[in-house]
Amino acid sequence: MLYSEKVMDHFRNPRNLGTIDDADAIGEVGNAKCGDIMKMYLKIKDGIITDVKFNTFGCGSAIATSSMATEMIKGKPVTEALKLSNKAVVEALDGLPAHKIHCSVLAEEAVKAALFDYYQKHPELEKPEGLSDCAACSGGCCSCH
Amino acid sequence: MKVYADNAATTKISDTAFNAMLPYFKEMYGNPSSLYTLGQKSQEALCSARETMAKYLNCDMKEITFTSGGSEADNQAILTGAYLGEKQGKKHIISSAFEHHAVLHTLKKLEKQGFEVTLLPVHEDGFVRPEELKDAIRSDTALVTIMYANNEIGTVQPIRELGAVCREKGVLFHTDAVQAAGHIKIDVKADNINMLSMSAHKFHGPKGVGMLYAKKGINLYTLIEGGAQERGKRAGTENVPAIMGMAAAFEESCKNLEKNFEYVKGLRDKVAAELSKIPHSKINGDITKGLAGTLNMCFEGIEGESLLLLLDDRGISASSGSACTSGSLDPSHVLLSLGLPHEVAHGSLRISLSEYNNEEDVAHIIKNVPEVVAYLRSMSPVWKDLTEGKKQYVIQ
């Protein structure tokens, strides 16, 4: 099989699928031209991600990595969510085929883009070092991966 | 319920073809090159298979070279045309933008050897224009290679007219007929074809066998050196069971050509009519002038691989031209050659039916595809932007 059972499970039964109308932060990464776009919606209270939802246009692994990433940051402090790496997402899914690794990078970037949006909206908070706006990346996934 | 709807990828072997192969595994297993009776029986079998192929293509059996399949036949034909031309100082080759990779990658190899390649456009409807071929032919054109029918969208090219242009200009004409053979009538003489490739597993024969027709007088370039099999043009002990299976499958397909075409077209047209009701969907290429079973559609706002996986969960085997299914970052070159933007080409679905499909299969496809498309759209941020007017639909 192309994908692990875990990937297929998250693809078939995506966790946290949907949107949040009154989201505190939104991040969108990817490019329709390249075939995948992820959009993440966060509710944040007292520095904790209390709710997260996603919408994804993309292949099986794009949907599965989005789903897994939302599970991994839900209920976590923002500072911890910032540390989410694509590698951790891949490991949690029991691996991805080599040519699908970029989907996990996109999932990491979607979380980072949403958190960047959060810090933009809250200038009173000290923005963590190195947090950049993945959503503003002009090239989309094709040029990065 | 299981529905196999990927007959352009490969087909189920027919009982006729399967049974024709069996005696050549454990009874008549002799090497056709051997002198004794067991070997000569295999030689006679090969001869009868060659006769069958020749009969239904309207050529001489000496003009047929058995190969490992369509890709090998394409490679051999194109290299033959190129090197024959080179001897006369001709190093220009004409092809089309939506050929199979067996053709395009061979042309890339020739470009590295100093050949110049012109790829003719196929326009939005998916056809090469004979007048554009005429204009593209130069005094140094060695070969024209244009597929008989396209593998992704099924459009059948005006081969007879294209062949006539080549004949008039005195240029060798090869056609990759892998999708067409066994599905529509092919007459190499009437169609003005000099070389033609085909593959058995696309018409209910076995995998790993095909053939190259080369008109008498064309000295084929040898890809595989060795023994004197296939008049020295393709070494290696012949795959007798597979060749017997191919001949039986080809004869069966050709005898039932019109009947199968009408039946399969009836099924395909029903699927096309129903799936076209999905909003912002589009049929790729003009299917009224296409193979009976092939239907290629785009659904805006979704991606093809996730569509295929969910259809597979519902028992439907189909294919897509999205980047994720091709293993590259670009969607299918065939869909791009029709002028489709990348984001739309990613949302493509190819359904290809055969005479082994039935009305129940059609009903299953018609029920499930719209449901899966709607589900994927419900989670797609692209679709959300389209419905909220933040982006413009490409497909109206």
Residues of A classed as catalytic: 34, 103
pLDDT of residue A141: 45
Amino acid (1-letter code) at residue B180: A
Express each pLDDT in B244-289 by its tens digit: 999 999 999 999 999 999 999 999 999 999 999 999 999 999 999 9
Q: How far is CA A123 from the centre of its chain?
A: 22
Query: Rounded to an integer, what distance in angstroms lies between the CA atom of residue B65 and that of residue B213?
Result: 6
DSSP H helix total and E strand total for chain B: 15, 12
What average pLDDT score do residues B362-385 get? Answer: 98
Residue of B nearest to A55 (CA): B379
Residues of chain B with CATH 3.40.640.10: 15-255
Portion 11-30 of A in contact with B at CB < 8 A: 11-12, 14, 17, 19, 28
Q: How confident is the model at residue A142 (pLDDT cuts 50, 70, 90)?
A: very low
Domains of chain A, first to last: 5-122 (3.90.1010.10)
Whose structure tokens read 């067996």? B102
Tell me whether A5 touches chain B (CB under 8 Å).
no
Contacts of B324 in chain A (CB under 8 A): 35, 58-62, 100
At B372, list the tokens: 């899966």
Q: What is the pTM of this model?
A: 0.94
One of B47, B59, B166, B324 is an active-site residue; which one? B324
Closest partner residue to A59 (CB to CB) among B306, B342, B383 is B306
What pLDDT is attached to residue A132? Answer: 75
Residue A144 has pLDDT above 80, yes or no: no
pLDDT value, residue B163:
98
As given in the structure block, the two tokens for residue B277 are 């009701």
> Confidence band (pLDDT; 50, 70, 90) for A127?
confident
Q: Choose among A12, A57, A60: nearest Cβ to B381.
A: A57
Contact A35 B303 (CB under 8 A): yes
Residue B173, phi then psi, degrees to nearest 5 = -125, 120
Q: CA distances (Å), B81 to each of B194, B221, B228, B309, in order?
A: 10, 8, 22, 41
Contact B155, B335 (CB under 8 A): no
pLDDT digits (tens, 9 = 90+) for B71-88: 999 999 999 999 999 999
Say what the pLDDT of residue B321 is.
86
Distance from C-alpha of B244 to C-alpha of B256, rounded to nearest angstrom: 19
Are β-strands B64-67 and B3-4 bridged in parallel, bridged antiparallel, or unpaired?
unpaired
Q: What residues contact B258, with CB distance under 8 A and at least 6 apart?
A: none
If you average pLDDT over residues B151-159, what whole number do you get? 98
Residue-wise pLDDT tens digits, B291-332: 999 999 999 999 999 999 999 999 999 999 887 766 667 899
What average pLDDT does range B144-172 have in this prediction?
A: 98
Interface test with B, best of A16, A39, A57, A106 (most B CBs within 10 A): A57
pLDDT category of residue A137 using cuts at 50, 70 and 90: low
d(CA B303, CA B287): 23
How much of chain A, in percent, has pLDDT values that exceed 90?
79
pLDDT tier, A130 (very low <50, low <70, confident <90, very high otherwise):
confident
CATH level 3 topology of B15-255: Aspartate Aminotransferase; domain 2 (3.40.640)
Q: Do A36 and B303 touch (CB under 8 A)?
A: yes
Task: Quickly count helices (H) and strands (E) in chain A.
Answer: 6, 3
Q: For B27-47, what is the mean pLDDT?
A: 98
Helix (H, G, I), strand (E, B) or coil at B197: strand
Angle at which helix B359-378 crosses helix B304-313, to 10 degrees, equals 130
The alpha carbon of residue A55 is apart from the nearest alpha carbon of chain B, in Å, by 5
CA B77, CA B227: separation in Å to the nearest integer?
Answer: 20
CATH 3.90.1150.10-classified regions of chain B? 256-387
Instruction: For residue A58, give the nearest of B303, B325, B383 by CB distance.
Output: B303
Question: Could you say which residues from 66 to 95 on chain A have a Cβ atom under 8 Å away from some Cβ of chain B?
Answer: none
Output phi, psi for B176, to 5 deg: -85, 105
Which positions ≥6 away from B251 have C-beta within 8 Å? B52, B56
**Minimal CA separation from A126 to chain B, in Å:** 30
pLDDT of residue A129: 78
Res. B94 pLDDT band, cuts 50 70 90: very high
- CB contact, 8 Å: B384 with chain A? yes
Residue B383: pLDDT band (50, 70, 90) is very high
- B291 neighbors B179 (Cβ within 8 angstroms): yes
Residue B264: predicted pLDDT: 98
B256-387, what's its fold? Aspartate Aminotransferase, domain 1 (3.90.1150)
